[in-house]
Amino acid sequence: MTAAQGLARYETTLAGLERKGRRRTLVAQAGADFSSNDYLAFAGSARLAAAIASALERGVPAGAGGSRLLRGNHPEHEALEAEAAAFFGTGRVLYFGSGYAANTALFSTLPQRGDLIVYDALVHASVHEGIQASRAQAVAAAHNDVEAFAQAIEHWRSTGGTGHPWIAVESLYSMDGDRAPLTELAALAEKHGGFLVIDEAHATGVFGPDGRGFAAGLENRAHVIVLHTCGKALGVSGALLGASAVLCDYLVNRARGFIYSTAPSPLMAAAVREALRMLVDEPQRRADFDALRSFANAELTTKLGISSSGSQILPVLIGDNGRAVRVAARMRAEGFDIRAIRPPTVPEGTARLRIAITLNVDHATITHMFSRLAVIMAEEKP
């Protein structure tokens, strides 16, 4: 077989994706921001830039140079983890290079053979990745249905399950913008001697006291594990995994993704420290964001007749992949950076525009965007 023949199978797959309206391409950012997760506009803030410049001046390196277990364990990592543990009120924190890496490490390492992972049907892809590498049994539960989680655990017990159940959810779902019933799920996990893993990716920074997320008040419980990503509302990169000291120590000793990866940038660790301080020092950002989010939810309903999620994530369901792509492309051409989300990221038949509200736009821009979107959707018929 020639190299050209070897490449043909990939070309065939790409052509198939093209026919289904599912081929992905890289599109540069341009126009008003309605697609990023930079909810509080931290990413381009002067204060974060100054903090990074200051860290460089005092000798903090851009790269770690090795894994945390070798020479890559920089004082900035340890300072961030200590400050984050105090900020979120958890036993210990580990800093990972991304939320994807953290979820993969967590689920491939902590649940043991004989355990059960019950995950929300709409949970992040990174959780699925970790589950695939896990030795535990896994089963999906209907989205945000506490009874479905309970039934899955009870069925497992009735058929001989003797380990510990793990419940995996997002506190605020990235594609639908709705909240998980965390209090009820925490009680369920405790009742069955299990653990609750909460991915706070889209709640960290914008919800809870000082932006501590929806899990604030639960993180001091030994059976609750919480992931806070740093690349969304915090405006930088990486992820903070908070858990009991013993679970974090176990990850340091057993999580291959932690052991064998070069440590995250110490410079980014310094930036995350500053971002956490900004949450406390600049409450007006969250107040402004709350007002903007409420306004955008109202505009969505008024202009498009769509029920809103109540959060900063506003899905506009379209269904057809091709129509979603066309509408998004026309909106970008008019200066609104909106992207189409298609399967397999979302279930079949639920292609959508995922509109994200951030402090990078204002009220007038939101009104204009929804007005134009209503017109374009009417013109781009199914």
Domain residues for 203? 60-280
- Going from the C-alpha of 5 to that of each of 2, 17, 248, 287, 372, the distances in angstroms are 5, 19, 47, 58, 46
Residues 271 and 335 occupy one common structural domain: no
Does position 9 have pLDDT exceeding 80, yes or no?
A: yes
Task: Say how far apart CA 165 and CA 224 lie, in whole Å.
Answer: 12
- Establish if 6 belongs to a structural domain: no
232 is catalytic: yes
Is 24 a domain residue?
A: no
Same domain for 249 and 155 = yes
Respond yes or no: is residue 368 known to be catalytic: no
Same domain, 127 and 260: yes
* The last residue of a domain, from among 280, 296, 316: 280
What is the distance between the alpha carbons of residues 288 and 123, in angstroms, rounded to a whole number? 29
The reply to whether 170 belongs to the active site is: yes
Picking from 6-10, 67-71, 179-183, 210-214, which range would have the lowest pLDDT averaged per residue? 6-10
Q: For residue range 189-242, list pLDDT tens digits in order.
A: 999 999 999 999 999 999 999 999 999 999 999 999 999 999 999 999 999 999
> Mean pLDDT for the chain?
95
Q: What is the pLDDT of residue 30?
A: 84
pLDDT in tens, 353-362: 999 999 999 9
* Same domain membership, residue 326 and residue 215: no
pLDDT at 327: 95
- Of 77, 202, 223, 228, catalytic: 202
pLDDT given at position 66:
97
E strand segments, the chain = 32-33, 92-96, 116-120, 137-141, 165-170, 195-199, 224-229, 239-243, 313-319, 336-337, 340-341, 351-356
Which amino acid would we find at residue 98?
S
Establish whether 174 is a catalytic residue. Answer: yes
Find the CATH number of the domain harbouring 208. 3.40.640.10
Residue 76 in this model has a pLDDT that exceeds 80 = yes
The region, left, alpha or beta by phi > 0 then psi within -120 to 50, assigned to residue 59 is: left
- Which candidate in 124, 164, 192, 223 is catalytic? 124
To the query of whether residue 37 is one of the catalytic residues in this protein, the response is yes
- Number of folded domains in the chain? 2
Q: Looking at 76, 81, 199, 274, which residue is catalytic?
A: 199
Q: Assess whether pLDDT exceeds 80 at residue 337.
A: yes
249 is catalytic: no
For the segment 74-99, the average pLDDT, to the nearest whole number, is 98
* Catalytic choice (37, 103, 171, 297): 37
Domain C-terminal end among 280, 305, 325: 280
Least confident range of 6-20, 201-215, 284-298, 328-342: 6-20
Annotated catalytic residue 57: no
Of 200, 232, 237, 299, the active-site residue reads: 232
